[in-house]
């Protein structure tokens, strides 16, 4: 019985040797490799961590549309249109959140929050330092003069421009137009005390090559839903 | 022949060294075949449709360049094509990898683009503030610079320099490892002239260890997928890098698995030869030996 046990133990040991011996060799090999190349390994690890984050990059969150026509309930309180502040969706960079229209000059374009090259190819861009309609602040829109804002060359004082959002339509009356240098800091005032819409594009229209001047259009709020808590 | 501790230690040491040589051979082979070839790069580019996506991105950017200049996207009609961009891109990549100079012939593009812009300017009656030809030439040069920038794969020349170093080292490392492996096998064989099952046992240790050493890095990579967390933009460049790494990892995995199969063959051979040896010894001596003795022989084997 004891001999059988011994023979079994020896057999088991021989079989197990096929596992632990290679593992031991591998551990030694890795240990020696690490000792010999620890500097290079550290550099490689640091390099990878330098260009890595906690998760894979997200390529899907570009240019979402948060504009859903008539999706927010608008109430009529004694002739004053109101929307609940909590229902007003705030756009993230690249979101399509409104449409700007002026029927008389055939202006009808999507408004994106942000104003990079990719956005300006798809529609009207909004300076992300400016506000969405309805907040009583400055709204700055821009677009290329040979695309969505080509129509601005026909705009006149007194025209009505509408911005349609998910939480209602805001109307603005054109008060003034100006031609200014692109670096002119007096073009608009972020600290303005009322809601003002500023639209601008390159000037002159129908010009070859980049131009240093801009055509500015200023409009004041006429009507639109008011926020209530 | 009885087991002697000195012989066992020599064989184990030789086996351990052999495992290192086998591992280095396998890893070098994996790197050479999986990563350090032009084909590994170009096949990853094809698999993720890199040039098709690059073309779309390029056209998009080109349009963004010319629109502020008063031009429309139609000025690019018939100028660039995916096929030509792919051909220029691959030629440029090969030049960067081989440290040679590839001069893309841009004359046709320039000519066609200039013609299109002039037609557009005439049609839309655009006004130039200065010399029209000079303005158009500037716009065309701008686009051509952008074209060269787009067809070059980032860090391709650095990658090429690493490839060349690996390829230059590969034959020397490969043959020295092969020679060292032969020497260790010879030592193991010499220590066990009559017990071939022991020779195969030590070879099995070495090949199994080589398989483990080769398999752990790719399994770790595929399990953690840490390389997918690299922050590289645009998406097609990211997809290309990830695919390139994954293809290389798969080659390493394949080589490790082949090594693992070899180790199974070694174990089988060792077991077969041991049983054959015991059977032969038992047959020759069964009239003189008891069953206990056969047990002793087994332990000797």
**Structural domain includes residue B291:** no
Q: Residue A92 and residue A112: Cα distance in Å, rounded? A: 9
**Structural domain includes residue B260:** yes
Residue of A nearest to B234 (CA): A59
Contacts of A50 (CB under 8 A, 6+ apart): none
| pLDDT, average across residues A190-219 | 94
E strand spans, B179-263: none
Q: B117 pLDDT exceeds 90?
A: yes
Q: B290 pLDDT exceeds 60?
A: no
Q: B297 pLDDT exceeds 70?
A: no
Q: Residue A207 and residue B126: Cα distance in Å, rounded? A: 5
The closest of A216, A74, A212, A213 to A138, measured between CA atoms, is A216
Q: Counting beta carbons within 10 angstroms of the beta carbon of residue B213, is it exposed (0 to 12), middle (13 to 18) or buried (19 or more)?
A: buried
Indicate the number of domains in chain B: 2
Residue A3: which of B64, B136, B295 has the nearest Cβ?
Answer: B295
**Structural domain includes residue B298:** no
The pLDDT of residue A32: 84
**Structural domain includes residue B202:** yes
The pLDDT of residue B83: 95
**Per-residue pLDDT tens digits for B75-85:** 999 999 999 99
Q: Which residues of A touch B138 (CB under 8 A)?
A: 209
A22 inside 8 A of chain B by CB: yes
One domain, residues B121 and B200: no
Q: Counting beta carbons within 10 angstroms of the beta carbon of residue B258, is it exposed (0 to 12), middle (13 to 18) or buried (19 or more)?
A: middle
Residue bearing tokens 């086996």: B15
Residue of A nearest to B131 (CA): A208
The closest of A69, A83, A59, A93 to A166, measured between CA atoms, is A69
Q: How high does pLDDT run on average in chain A?
A: 91
What is the complex's ipTM, to 2 decimals? 0.77
pTM for the model: 0.82
The closest of A158, A168, A146, A159 to A68, measured between CA atoms, is A168
| pLDDT, average across residues A95-103 | 96
**Structural domain includes residue B286:** no
Q: B59 pLDDT exceeds 60?
A: yes
On whether the CB atoms of residues B109 and B79 are closer than 8 A, the answer is yes
A131-163: string of b/e by CB count within 10 Å (b at 16+)?
Answer: bbbbeebbbbbbbbbbbbbbbbeebeeebebbb
**Structural domain includes residue B289:** no
**At which of B97, B123, B151 does a domain end?**
B151
A208:B212 CB<8 A: no
Q: B293 pLDDT exceeds 70?
A: no
Residue B64: which of A59, A121, A208 has the nearest Cβ?
Answer: A121
Q: Residue A85 and residue A64: Cα distance in Å, rounded? A: 22
**Structural domain includes residue B300:** no
One domain, residues B111 and B212: no
Q: Residue B235 and residue B53: Cα distance in Å, rounded? A: 9
| pLDDT, average across residues B98-111 | 89
One domain, residues B244 and B176: yes
On whether the CB atoms of residues A162 and A222 are closer than 8 A, the answer is no
Q: Residue A124 and residue A147: Cα distance in Å, rounded? A: 9
The pLDDT of residue B294: 46
Q: A79 pLDDT exceeds 70?
A: yes
Q: Which residues of B touch A51 (CB under 8 A)?
A: 230-232
Q: B110 pLDDT exceeds 80?
A: yes
Contacts of A139 (CB under 8 A, 6+ apart): A126, A130, A131, A132, A133, A163, A195, A196, A197, A198
Q: Residue B250 and residue B34: Cα distance in Å, rounded? A: 8
Residues of the domain holding B269: 5-38+168-281
**Structural domain includes residue B162:** no
**Per-residue pLDDT tens digits for A104-156:** 999 999 999 999 998 999 999 999 999 999 999 999 999 999 999 999 999 99
Phi and psi at A60, nearest 5°, equal -100, -10
DSSP annotation of B69 reads: G
A25:B69 CB<8 A: no
Q: B282 pLDDT exceeds 80?
A: no
Ranked by mean pLDDT, the top range of A31-35, A213-217, B150-154 is A213-217
Q: Which of A204, A209, A213, A214 to mutate to test the interface with B (most CBs of B within 10 A)?
A: A209
- The DSSP line for A26-62 is HHHHHHHHHHHHHHHHHHHHHHHHHTB-SSPPP-S-S
**Per-residue pLDDT tens digits for B210-238:** 999 999 999 999 999 999 999 998 999 99
The closest of B21, B38, B27 to B162, measured between CA atoms, is B38
One domain, residues B51 and B144: yes
A-B CB pairs within 8 A amount to: 126
């Amino acid at each position: 019985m004891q001999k059988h046990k011994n023979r079994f133990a020896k057999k088991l040991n021989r079989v197990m040797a096929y596992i632990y011996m290679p593992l031991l060799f591998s551990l030694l090999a890795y240990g020696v490799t690490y000792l010999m190349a620890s500097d290079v390994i550290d550099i490689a690890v640091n390099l990878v961590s330098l260009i890595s984050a906690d998760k894979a990059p997200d390529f899907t969150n570009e240019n979402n549309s948060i504009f859903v026509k008539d999706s927010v309930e608008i109430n009529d309180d004694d002739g004053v249109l109101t929307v609940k502040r909590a229902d007003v969706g705030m756009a993230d960079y690249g979101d399509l959140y409104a449409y700007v229209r002026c029927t008389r000059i055939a202006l009808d374009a999507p408004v994106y929050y942000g104003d990079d090259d990719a956005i300006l190819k798809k529609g009207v861009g909004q300076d992300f330092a400016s506000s969405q309609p309805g907040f009583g602040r400055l709204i700055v829109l821009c677009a290329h003069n040979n695309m969505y804002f080509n129509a601005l060359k026909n705009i006149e004082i007194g025209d009505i421009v509408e911005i349609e959002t998910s939480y209602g339509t805001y109307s603005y009356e054109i008060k003034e137009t100006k031609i200014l240098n692109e670096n002119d800091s007096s073009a608009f005032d972020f600290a303005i005390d009322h809601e003002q819409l500023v639209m601008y594009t390159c000037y002159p229209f129908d010009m070859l090559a980049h131009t240093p001047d801009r055509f500015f259009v200023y409009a004041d709020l006429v009507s639109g839903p008011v926020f209530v808590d | 022949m009885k087991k002697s501790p000195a012989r066992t230690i020599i064989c184990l040491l030789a086996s351990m060294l052999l495992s290192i040589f086998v591992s280095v051979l396998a890893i070098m082979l994996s790197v050479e075949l999986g990563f350090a070839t032009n084909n590994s790069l170009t096949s990853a580019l094809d698999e993720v449709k890199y040039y098709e996506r690059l073309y779309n991105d390029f056209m998009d950017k080109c349009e963004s360049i010319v629109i502020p200049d008063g031009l429309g996207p139609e000025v690019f009609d018939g100028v660039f094509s995916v096929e030509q961009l792919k051909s220029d891109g691959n030629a440029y990549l090969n030049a960067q990898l081989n440290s040679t100079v590839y001069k893309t012939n841009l004359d046709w593009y320039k000519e066609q683009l200039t013609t299109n812009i002039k037609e557009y300017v005439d049609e839309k009656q655009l006004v130039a503030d200065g010399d029209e030809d000079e303005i158009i030439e500037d716009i065309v040069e701008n686009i051509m610079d952008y074209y060269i920038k787009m067809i070059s794969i980032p860090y391709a020349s650095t990658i090429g320099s690493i490839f060349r170093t690996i390829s230059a080292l590969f034959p020397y490392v490969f043959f020295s490892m092969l020679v060292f492996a032969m020497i260790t096998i010879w030592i193991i064989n010499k220590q066990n002239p009559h017990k071939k099952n022991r020779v195969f046992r030590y070879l099995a240790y070495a090949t199994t260890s080589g398989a483990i050493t080769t398999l752990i890095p790719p399994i770790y990579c595929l399990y953690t997928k840490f390389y997918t967390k690299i922050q590289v933009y645009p998406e097609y460049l990211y997809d290309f890098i990830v695919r390139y790494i994954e293809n290389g990892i798969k080659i390493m995995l394949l080589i490790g698995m082949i090594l693992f199969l070899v180790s199974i063959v070694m174990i089988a051979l060792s077991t077969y030869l041991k049983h054959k040896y015991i059977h032969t010894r038992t047959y020759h001596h069964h009239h003189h030996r008891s069953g206990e003795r056969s047990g002793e022989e087994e332990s000797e084997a």
